[in-house]
């Protein structure tokens, strides 16, 4: 028996302290981070929640910048539709300032 699949990645601004689920760095209030939620066959029907710093969420951030969104949905990370999910210009600038390697790759 299967389960309903639901996966998404959302760029958020922290309102409390989190710890990056990959590298362990502290994400302080006010900093941008990527929240991931997943459940489905890929997780053996278990719910997973992850908090990633911008460095550890590089692939997701690149996809968000490319599509000008702050949410990716589905197993294949489709950009979310609708005005509410558009990436604010100030967030884009902050991301590029914090992760210069992403900026260089997007210029190529």
- Domains by residue range for the chain, with CATH: 6-102 (3.30.1740)
Q: Which helix (H) or strand (E) holds 51?
A: strand 48-52
- The pTM for the full model equals 0.82
pLDDT in tens, 3-26: 778 889 999 999 999 999 999 999
As to burial, measured by CB atoms within 10 angstroms (0-12 exposed, 13-18 middle, 19+ buried), residue 84 is exposed
**Distance separating alpha carbons of residues 101 and 83, to the nearest angstrom:** 28
pLDDT in tens, 25-56: 999 999 999 999 988 776 778 889 999 999 99
């Amino acid at each position: 028996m299967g389960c309903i699949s639901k996966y998404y990645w959302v760029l958020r601004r922290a309102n409390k302290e989190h710890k990056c689920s990959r590298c362990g760095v502290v994400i302080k209030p006010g900093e941008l981070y990527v929240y991931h939620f997943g459940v489905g066959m890929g997780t053996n029907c278990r719910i997973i929640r992850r908090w990633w710093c911008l460095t550890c969420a590089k692939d997701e951030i690149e996809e968000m910048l490319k599509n000008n969104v702050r949410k990716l949905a589905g197993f294949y990370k489709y950009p979310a539709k609708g005005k509410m999910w558009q990436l604010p210009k100030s967030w884009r600038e902050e991301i590029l300032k914090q992760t210069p390697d992403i900026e260089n790759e997007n210029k190529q």
